[in-house]
Amino acid sequence: MVYKIIYKTGGSFISDAGTLVEAKKQASEHAGYGFGSICIMEGEDIDSCCEPVAIKFEHGIEWIEPER
């Protein structure tokens, strides 16, 4: 599985995490002040990362995981 991390501010990167839990941790660690929100997309490869699996808003404490 591949996780793409996208910030509302426009930054994004492909996570080297092996699990969603690790991807969430990595996304939080790389978020700077004023990131707005974070969306983690999941796919089989980089080109297929289109399914949002976790969202976190800057002023929220917890991750939201949309139903699949």
Whether the predicted pLDDT of 67 surpasses 80: yes
For the whole model, what pTM was predicted? 0.91
**pLDDT bracket for residue 68 (50, 70, 90):** confident
- Compute the residue count for the chain: 68
pLDDT tens-digit profile of 7-26? 999 999 999 999 999 999 99
Q: Does residue 4 have a pLDDT over 80?
A: yes
At 19 the pLDDT is 97
CA 51 to the chain's CA centroid: 11
pLDDT of residue 41: 96
Average of per-residue pLDDT across 45-57 = 89
- Per-residue HEC secondary structure of the chain comes to CEEEEEECCCCEEEECCCCHHHHHHHHHHHCCCCCCEEEEEEECCHHHCCEEEEEEECCCCCCECCCC
